[in-house]
Amino acid sequence: MKILIQRQSLVQAIQHVQKAVSGKTTIPVLTGIKIVATKEGLSLTATDLEIGIETRLPTHIEEDQIVQVIEEGAIVLSAKFLSDIVRKLPSQQVEIEVKQNYLTIIRGGKSEYNLHGLDHEEFPRLPQVSGNQVFSVQSDLLKDMIRQTSFAVSNEEIRPVLTGVMFSLRKGSLKFVATDSHRLATREAAVEASEDLEIHNVIIPGKSLNELGRLLSDDSSLVDLVVADNQVLVQMDKTQFYTRLIDGQYPDISRIIPSNFKTGLTVKTKELQGAVERASLIAKEHENNLVRLNIKIGGIEISSNSPDVGKVSESIEDVSVTGDELLIAFNSKFMLDALRVIDSEDLLIEFTGSMSPFLVKIPDNPNCLHLILPVRIY
């Protein structure tokens, strides 16, 4: 293998795939990036066996030559050294040449590295994901859906299905659900799928989704999702993202979302967020970050106290309250997580009593829903 490549393009491609490089592994080849050079250009691949990322660099982008493949071939190089070296090289162009015994020469300017590479045949092949369970989503929309749900997954391995985000598709509507059993986040959106395609109970690990979120661009370009038995493939413009799925049956959440309420509160999102953030400064983590909300017809009061620090209270009068007055307490972390991903100016909270889960939603918009369990206070 022998190639000449624009250094900045190679830096970007390495950054793309590096997120899939295994941090802790006893398999040396997984600490590397596989580089394959063909007539069409270059491909870089990394995987930790949980996720896999492959990105391609064409020989030309419009008039600019990106890669010149002088000799086809493939090699696996340490991701850490490759990344450090390519970033530090002083030249615009980099030459990579593989000699005998996987010895790889990287040249840039007057600098020449001789690195010990690894056999590309030892590198795991990314799965061939295919099937008719295919649909398309706008890149920025998918990114939003991940941001608005993935924070709510469980970090505990006791119930593995809860460490993932469950998605389903029905009548062209894609729905994400995440819960750690203390709070729940859902997000729904119309996507491009055939009317009769139905997908259920696909559980993607929360960590994988966060990595995918970082790869997705902030534009409306279409991204294809292909769902197979235990894999999902996300096909972006020049990059493919694979993740394994979590086995198991996701709990049925439809029964736990209350359909009626006794107290309704409409409030400015940022005003409530600020007040809860200020109250949470006093709240202690080991006491559930407890913050109280006292809802009266004329306004609400947010408060917290900690015997050794002191107490805080703040009132908001610019609210609209319907139904019963109520005193309720919650984990401020769960509330803030939800408030921070709600993009609308106003929000509506529906309570059914101080011991029952409450719903945080956007007025007149059923696509985004957060459910939070209160904390018992005496």
Range 66-105, binding a copy of itself (CB under 8 A): 78, 81, 84-85, 88-90, 103-104
* # residues contacting a copy of itself (CB under 8 A): 32
State the minimum distance, in angstroms, from the CB of residue 85 to a copy of itself: 6
Q: How far apart (Å, rounded) are the C-alpha atoms in residues 358 and 324?
A: 14
Task: Select from 24, 310, 376, 378 the one that contacts a copy of itself (CB under 8 A).
Answer: 310
3-state secondary structure of 132: coil
Residue 23, interface with a copy of itself (CB under 8 A)?
no
Nearest to 226 by CA among 213, 211, 210, 245: 245
- Cβ neighbours of residue 164 closer than 8 Å, sequence gap 6 or more: 153, 178, 203, 204, 205, 206, 245, 246, 250
Binding map of a copy of itself across residues 112-151, x = CB under 8 A, - = no contact: xxxxx-----------------------------------
SS3 string, 242-283, reads: EEECCCCCCCCCCCCCCCCCCEEEEEEHHHHHHHHHHHHCCC
**Among the residue ranges 15-23, 157-165, 253-261, 307-315, the one whose residues contact a copy of itself (CB under 8 A):** 307-315
Q: Which is nearer to a copy of itself, 104 or 243 (CB)?
A: 104
Range 256-295, binding a copy of itself (CB under 8 A): 274-275, 277-278, 281-282
Residue 255, interface with a copy of itself (CB under 8 A)?
no
Q: What are phi and psi of 9, to 5 degrees?
A: -65, -40
Q: Which is nearer to a copy of itself, 110 or 286 (CB)?
A: 110
Q: Which is nearer to a copy of itself, 43 or 273 (CB)?
A: 273
Q: How far apart (Å, rounded) are the C-alpha atoms in residues 85 and 95?
A: 12
Task: Select from 315, 344, 354, 367 the one that contacts a copy of itself (CB under 8 A).
Answer: 315
Q: How far apart (Å, rounded) are the C-alpha atoms in residues 367 and 369?
A: 7
**Among the residue ranges 106-114, 126-134, 321-329, 338-346, the one whose residues contact a copy of itself (CB under 8 A):** 106-114
DSSP line for 144-176 = HHHHTTGGGS---TTSGGGGEEEEEEETTEEEE
Residue 313, interface with a copy of itself (CB under 8 A)?
yes
| Residue that is written with structure tokens 């949980």 in the block | 50
Q: Which is nearer to a copy of itself, 312 or 338 (CB)?
A: 312
**Among the residue ranges 133-141, 224-232, 303-311, 342-350, the one whose residues contact a copy of itself (CB under 8 A):** 303-311
Q: How far apart (Å, rounded) are the C-alpha atoms in residues 66 and 270?
A: 46
Where b means 16+ CB within 10 Å and e means fewer, 321-356 reads beeeebebbbbbbbbbbbbebbeeebbbbbbbebee
Q: Which is nearer to a copy of itself, 120 or 187 (CB)?
A: 120
Binding footprint of a copy of itself on the chain (CB under 8 A): 78, 81, 84-85, 88-90, 103-104, 109-116, 274-275, 277-278, 281-282, 308-316
